[in-house]
Structure 1
Amino acid sequence: MHTGFHARIAKAANIPINDSTPVLSFSPFVLPAPGRPVELQLRVTVPSIGGALPIILLSHGHGTSNSLSSLEGYAPLYEFWAAHGFAVLQPTHLSSAFLGLQAPAGQELFWQARAEDMVRILDNLDAIEAAVPGLQGRLDRTRVAVAGHSLGAWTTSMLLGASNTDPRDGATWYKPEPRIKVGIVLAGLGQGGADISEAGKTRIPFYGGDFSTMTTPALVIYGDEDVAPHLTIRDATWHADPYTLAPGPKDLFIMKGAKHGLGGISGWDTRETLDDSPEQIAAVQRLTWAYVKSQLYEGDKAWLEVCRAMDGLGEIGRIESKSK
């Protein structure tokens, strides 16, 4: 067994991955943010060695936990990605229970501010490099990805080019971030409008998601048991809409038996996870790593190798792809 891998990842061990290195995590880095209710706090996690590090911006979900929906969450992802060559930058968004802020009307869950946080991070990479010990000169500004889970997946989708039209007043938000070259959409929101349940209209009254303009390459992952009546009238396939309704190139991973937590990616052994599974976590880790790597580096074969491995791992899930 490779050092650092959980003994219970089972057949996910057959999904190929590169060698890992120890990681360094710096938290919190406080970024001044004029006009924001509070300063922007980040966790920065990087490999202990190496340069020209590609960047993953990680957007947390909303959830019911006290701390996971902040820079304190998602260790299964940020630790893995950093151990395998990425610099991971993850903010505490204004919607976090950690902050206890009340969003103004029209900005429920601070949904616009979440995307603005990621743009602010990219605008301030010089300051981040200068403040984090050992990071100076190690970031590759030309290779940037964004990833997010649940509400963070909607943040990701917006940065990739999805638009939102508020059903209450018709105001449209469309602000893709061109510095971001690839995205990972984890258990994300599907189409708005008639697909939203009555409960969903109360929880996300601003939501009118449209993926027809989401042109940036992305891998969409959802669990086939992730049914969300509190948001939608549809079944789990609603979470596939960022793949189905967006133009290519896009890829989709349907995880068999997984619910909204995708095995527990928001934190190790967390009580909010309904599908605790080291195997599922390992699959998400490896597929996301390979996809981003191959999208950012022309000619890289990591994703091709993972797809070949998954052909024999149908009990974990299946991959679909489209070019247009």
Structure 2
Amino acid sequence: MSSIALDRPVTAVKPITVPAPGRAVGLAVKVTAPLSGRNLPVLVFSHGNAWSMDGYEPLVDRWAAAGFVVVQPTHLDSRRNGIGWDDPRFATVWRVRIADLHAVLDGLDDILLRAGDLGPRTDRGRLSVVGHSWGAQTAGALLGARVLDADGVPGEDFSHPAVSAGALLAATGTGETLTPFAAEHLPFMRPDYSTLTAPTLVVAGGRDQSSLSTRGPEWFTDAYHLSPSPMSLLTLAEGEHTLGGLAGERVAETTDEDPARVALVADAVSAYLLDALKVDTDPWAALTDAAATGDGTWSMTSK
């Protein structure tokens, strides 16, 4: 299905500290990259709630093998920081998450320098952001999405001018159908996708039933349906919220473990971004051809 070469060795460097004045806990990142290659595009990844830079290896290693320099920050809501739902700082964590991605992108030169020889091997003109779950809403903000306030008024623009494209995995839907718990603890979960204008791949699971919304799995396709073109939607018929186990093998949150599904997600993101960043159009063409003749376990639409 994919024409991406995935046999090149990769290496990871961590932790690398990133300046983030005023942050309650210091910001650290992990950088994973291929050992060889030049003009490498950059992918900044935002993890889901409670995770850290040490998760999502099945995705990150595959992206690095496909030729990306992957930068993973540990957000403030990571389990290791002990900031739970009832912590008074939690109400603003969504803003800190967005600020983390901005700090990474703005400090990218120093991050690459401290990660070894990556500086001269990286193409800073080809930057993308990707996120899973809460991380998808975080990444979406840098792609142009906004957050509606209680009166439905869009908040500030957090998009980053250096970001050219992205991917949203199991992204939060609109906020009109939040459960009482979500409405109380996650009032920021009210995205406005009408301003998400950067080319974006949305990935959704056909069996992803969220406990935060009264809607069904289609909730996770809002980012595609409510945003302008150009967009693509990859739907995994049997995928649940971890889409087969994105965060790692046999992690507690995974209820639909399927390594092949995870590989498909990883390769689809790589193919989409390589095409959108004008690095290589062949893998995305191969993927769309495969979707047209697939077995029904996954589908692709674009607009």
TM-score, structure 2 as length reference:
0.94
Q: Aligned to 2:35, which of 24, 31, 48?
A: 48
**In the alignment, structure 1 residue 186 sits paired with structure 2 residue 169:** yes
Q: How many pairs were matched up?
A: 302
Name the counterpart of 2:203: 221
**In the alignment, structure 1 residue 177 sits paired with structure 2 residue 160:** yes
CA distance in 2, matches of 1:107, 1:211: 23
3-state SS in 2 of match to 1:76 = helix
Name the counterpart of 2:249: 268
CA distance in 2, matches of 1:108, 1:88: 28
CA distance in 2, matches of 1:144, 1:171: 26
**In the alignment, structure 1 residue 166 sits paired with structure 2 residue 131:** no
Structure 2 gap segments, 5+ residues each: none
**In the alignment, structure 1 residue 30 sits paired with structure 2 residue 13:** no
Q: Deviations over 1:171-219 (max 9, x none)?
A: 7232111211111100010011x22222321231233211011111100
Q: Tell me the CA shift for residue 168 of structure 1.
A: 7.6
Q: Tell me the CA shift for residue 115 of structure 1.
A: 1.1
Q: Which has the higher helix share?
A: 2
Q: Tell me the CA shift for residue 302 of structure 1.
A: 1.8
Q: Deviations over 1:58-87 (max 9, x none)?
A: 000005xxxxx0001010111000011000
Structure 1 gap segments, 5+ residues each: 1-13, 64-68
Name the counterpart of 2:113: 130
**In the alignment, structure 1 residue 255 sits paired with structure 2 residue 236:** yes
Q: Aligned to 1:300, which of 277, 281, 293?
A: 281
CA contact (8 A) 2:6 2:62 kept: no
Q: Where do residues 51-200 of structure 1 align in structure 2 (5 Å cutoff)? A: 51-63=38-50, 69-101=51-83, 105=88, 108=91, 110-167=93-150, 172-192=155-175, 194-200=176-182
CA-atom RMSD, angstroms? Answer: 1.9
CA distance in 1, matches of 2:152, 2:269: 37
User: Which 10-residue stretch deviates more, 96-105 or 52-61?
Assistant: 96-105
CA contact (8 A) 2:30 2:53 kept: yes
The percent of aligned pairs where both chains have the same amino acid is 35
Q: Tell me the CA shift for residue 19 of structure 1.
A: 4.2
Q: Tell me the CA shift for residue 169 of structure 1.
A: 9.8
CA distance in 2, matches of 1:299, 1:292: 9
Q: Tell me the CA shift for residue 99 of structure 1.
A: 1.3
CA distance in 2, matches of 1:171, 1:295: 27
The one-letter amino acid of 1:84's match is A
CA contact (8 A) 2:19 2:103 kept: no
3-state SS in 1 of match to 2:80 = coil
CA distance in 2, matches of 1:19, 1:171: 41
Q: Tell me the CA shift for residue 106 of structure 1.
A: 8.0
